[in-house]
Chains A and B, each alone.
Chain A
Amino acid sequence: MIDFLQTHLPALIEGLRVTLQLTVGGAVVALLLAVAAGLGRRSRHRWLRWPANVYVETFRGTSALVQLFWFYFALPFFGVSLPALVTGVLVLGLNSGAYGAEVVRSAINNVPRGQWEAGRALNLDERKVLFRVILPQALPMMLPPAGNLLIELLKNTALVSLITLSELTFTAQVQRAATLDTVPLFALTLLIYFFVAQILVAGMRRLERAVTRHRGGAA
């Protein structure tokens, strides 16, 4: 047992590092894109709505694996050559962001129309209504599905072995090739994913509590 851990754990932790780099980096990219595209899809202006729609439907509607392949292996032929880690962060972020945009949009849509009208009745301009009245009510609704997406993102990182990044799953495969300890190795890998996912869940819970507290406790 000690022997097994000594052989495999250091490598798996290096793999975990790449997995977390992709998760954290991807989440930052996804957050920015989700807010931008979620708001963009609701915009009255066609030049905001259209790009947001194209982005969301493109990345939701095509396979993440193929997107990775495309960004990594095909873009260099068009003169754009991003390092592997940047490609991974970007593609995973673009993907989660597309789903996130729908989370943002539906949460805003779920704030009762009366709140918009009340805001306008108080003589607030459109931007103020959105940022002071609507978004604070929409935010608590966004967090549970956002937490889901974050865990999904963590597990999607396993796709990037295709583009020469040795993340957790691929590292486990490499270690297995050396010793063929398939069953215990993949059991350990599952445990590591589970442990990280629990930390993400706890973090999201805390965020949810903080956000609802600021709203004055109303659910």
Chain B
Amino acid sequence: MLRRLRNAAGVLAVALLLAWLWPRPGELDGGATTGGNTLQRIRDAGVVRVGFANEAPYAYVDTETGQLTGEAPELARLIFRQLGVAQIEGVLTEFGSLIPALKAGRFDVIAAGMYITPLRCQEILFSNPTYAIGEAFVVPAGNPLGLHGYRDLRDTPGATLGVVTGAIQLQYAREIGIPDSRIRIFPDAPSAVDGVAAGRVSAYAGTSLTVNDLLGKTDAPLERAEPFKDLVIDGEVVKGYGAFGFRKGDVKFRDAFNQVLNATVGTTRHVDLVEPFGFGENTLPGNITATELCEAVPND
């Protein structure tokens, strides 16, 4: 009797587990779609899938509400509403997977605040930039090695630099001449910050907004390296220009998006929208276009 009861309980537990695990509606969607008229397709569907890499304040999941937010998704919502697409749906992936996933049609737009670089322009199209910001280092409190820029780190024997996989800072470090043997690549920004805290690297190089965001969250004895010398490559101060990414075949889609974007960026509505994320008047990109940023000569 007892044994039969126990068996029944076991069967019930397994049945409940399987019911919990059974795919919910929509969980098996998300096959790839490419080709055709992307804008028409997402208008008909009323929803556009956007890829992001969970990097605050650019694009991240607010763990309180479970909602996708950040500079790029909020701006995307505004623009897509004007294009007749009511809803955006986030697809979370690692930063380094964003471009391959876009190309494979796993989503239709990258909304991760990705910088426009000539190298990336060979793979995908960019909208015009939505912000421009500079670089920063996270270092141990007191900045014991006195690192105030990429060149300081290069000239300090034994100093190592942490960067995030697929992120622009690796390219900067190489162009400045920091040898690969002194560069450590982390999977994401929190890991890189933890790497500095644990003494794995001397500094983490990220965008100034990522650095501000992460330092605001951690209690570890870390600080932003101040003052920070502007990064100058080939006589020009390097700034990062973030934008939305599109597939090469989606020129019309990108152009339609740009048209609305150009009318939006710089308006008070735009500034109010992105201010909660640490962006503002001082991070507006000015008149520079994606085409100009793509044509900047790669330094190699």
Give every chain A residue within 8 A of B29 (Cβ-Cβ): 83
Question: Any chain A CB within 8 A of the CB of B144?
Answer: no
Q: Which residue of A lies closest to B27 (CB)?
A: A85
The answer to whether B209 has its CB under 8 Å from any CB of chain A is no
Q: CB within 8 Å of A: which of B27-45?
A: 27-34
Contact across chains for B190 and A177 when beta carbons are under 8 A apart: yes
B63 contacts which of A11, A76, A82, A85 (Cβ < 8 Å)? A11
| Alpha-carbon gap, A177 to B190, bound state (A) | 6
Cβ B55 vs Cβ A177 within 8 A = yes
Instruction: List B contacts of A81 (CB < 8 A).
Output: 31-33, 104-105
Q: A174–B29 Cα gap in the complex (Å)?
A: 22
**Is the Cβ of A73 less than 8 Å from the Cβ of B101?**
yes
Q: How far is the CB of A206 from chain B (nearest CB, A)?
A: 9
Q: Is B296 located at the chain interface by the 8 A CB criterion? A: no
B residues in contact with A17, CB < 8 Å: 20-21
How many residues on A have C-beta within 8 angstroms of the other chain's C-beta atoms? 33
Chain A CB within 10 Å, residue with most, of B30, B33, B191: B30
Of chain A, the residue at the smallest CB distance from B215 is A180
Alpha-carbon separation in the docked complex, A9 to B205 (Å): 31
Max chain B C-beta neighbours (<10 A), residue from A7, A74, A161, A180: A180
CB of A76 within 8 A of CB of B105, answer yes
B-chain residues with CB within 8 Å of residue A212 when the two chains form the complex: none
B269 adjacent to chain A (CB < 8 Å) = no
Is the beta-carbon distance between A85 and B218 smaller than 8 angstroms? no
Q: Which residues of B contact A20 (CB under 8 A)?
A: 17, 21
Stretch in contact with the other chain, from B92-100, B228-236, B251-259, B272-280: B92-100
Contact with B101, one of A21, A164, A176 (Cβ below 8 angstroms): A164
20 more A-B residue pairs beyond the given contacts A76-B34, A81-B33, A177-B55, with a C-beta to C-beta distance below 8 A: A72-B101, A73-B97, A76-B105, A83-B27, A83-B29, A83-B30, A85-B27, A85-B28, A164-B93, A164-B101, A164-B106, A166-B92, A170-B92, A173-B187, A176-B190, A177-B189, A177-B190, A178-B217, A179-B217, A180-B220
List A residues at the B interface (Cβ < 8 Å): 7, 11, 17, 20-21, 24, 69, 72-74, 76-77, 81-86, 161-164, 166, 170, 173-180, 182
